[in-house]
């Protein structure tokens, strides 16, 4: 990656066949507050796939000034990804149920995640590329990097390229990663996404979190439009 002086931008981040640019430094706050800060700067909120590209690029030069900072945030705090997760209970009368709808750049109102099942179901019917559905039964908790790369939930959230990047990142840790997600729910539950490692020096494992709460603080790098 390269940095442009002045208002600093991290450029030439490979992403899905092109390059994307992030503004530096990272913003910090709850996901609602992060969304407000990023919007005010005229930037895009980073999706899971974009975040995967950022951390994977940092991994290529971990001792670089900006790369080390990005990986340091991952080791000591949380990177918030703007992908919403709407977990749905089993309901035979519904077209989409007993699984999770993953939405890139979901609506955030008054600092809270808003995901409407009916509206999202209609977008699924129309094959909206920003909305995916994964039935329950995918692997959660501890798993191998190979399982992660093929995990339908992880692919829905990051895309196939992003899932491979997250699996490569996870392989640098000494222990297996964890995917935090519900196995089932009794009622509709909307949660944000995050990526973190709560232990230092890559000595434990990566956490792919699909259950981020509204009150938790984390970081996010805005994406230049």
pLDDT digits (tens, 9 = 90+) for 170-203: 998 877 789 999 999 999 999 999 999 855 445 4
Residue 136 predicted with pLDDT over 90: yes
Q: Classify strands 207-212 and 218-220 as parallel, antiparallel or unpaired.
A: unpaired
Residue 180 lies in a domain: yes
Query: If you average pLDDT over residues 67-91, what whole number do you get?
Result: 95
Q: What is the pLDDT of residue 175?
A: 73
Q: Give how many domains the chain has, as a whole number.
A: 1
Residue-wise pLDDT for 96-114, tens only, equals 999 999 999 999 999 999 9
Query: If you average pLDDT over residues 148-158, what whole number do you get?
Result: 98
Residue 46 lies in a domain: yes
The SS3 of residue 118 is helix
Q: Please tell me what DSSP assigns to residue 111.
A: T
* Separation between Cα atoms, residue 225 and residue 200, nearest integer Å: 33
Give the residue among 94, 123, 107, 106 at the shortest CA–CA distance from 187: 94
Domain that holds residue 109: 2-220
Residue 121 lies in a domain: yes
Residue 225 lies in a domain: no
Residue 146 lies in a domain: yes
Residue 205 predicted with pLDDT over 90: no
* Separation between Cα atoms, residue 196 and residue 218, nearest integer Å: 9
Written as one string, the DSSP assignment of 25-82 is: S-EEE-HHHHHHHHHHTT-BPP-HHHHHHHHHHHHTSTTSHHHHHHHHHHHHSEEEEE
Residue 214 lies in a domain: yes
Residue 111 lies in a domain: yes
Residue 77 lies in a domain: yes
Q: What is the pTM of this model?
A: 0.94
């Amino acid at each position: 990656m390269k940095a442009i002086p002045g208002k600093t931008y991290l450029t030439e981040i490979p992403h899905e066949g092109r390059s994307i640019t992030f503004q530096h430094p990272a913003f910090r706050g709850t996901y609602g507050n992060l969304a407000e800060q990023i919007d005010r700067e005229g930037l895009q909120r980073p999706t899971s796939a974009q975040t995967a590209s950022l951390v994977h690029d940092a991994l290529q030069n971990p001792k670089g000034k900006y790369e080390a900072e990005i990986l340091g945030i991952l080791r000591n705090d949380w990177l918030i990804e703007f992908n919403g997760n709407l977990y749905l209970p089993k309901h035979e009368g519904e077209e989409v149920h007993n699984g999770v709808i993953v939405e890139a750049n979901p609506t955030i109102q008054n600092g809270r995640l808003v995901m409407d099942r009916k509206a999202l179901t209609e977008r699924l019917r129309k094959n909206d590329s920003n909305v995916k559905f994964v039935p329950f039964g995918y692997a959660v908790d501890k798993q191998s990097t190979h399982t992660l790369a093929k995990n339908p939930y992880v692919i829905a959230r990051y895309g196939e390229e992003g899932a491979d990047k997250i699996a490569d990142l996870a392989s640098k840790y000494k222990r297996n990663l964890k995917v935090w997600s519900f196995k089932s729910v009794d009622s509709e539950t909307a949660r944000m996404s995050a990526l973190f490692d709560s232990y230092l020096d890559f000595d434990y494992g990566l956490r792919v979190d699909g259950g981020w709460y509204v009150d938790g603080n984390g970081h996010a790098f805005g994406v230049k439009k």
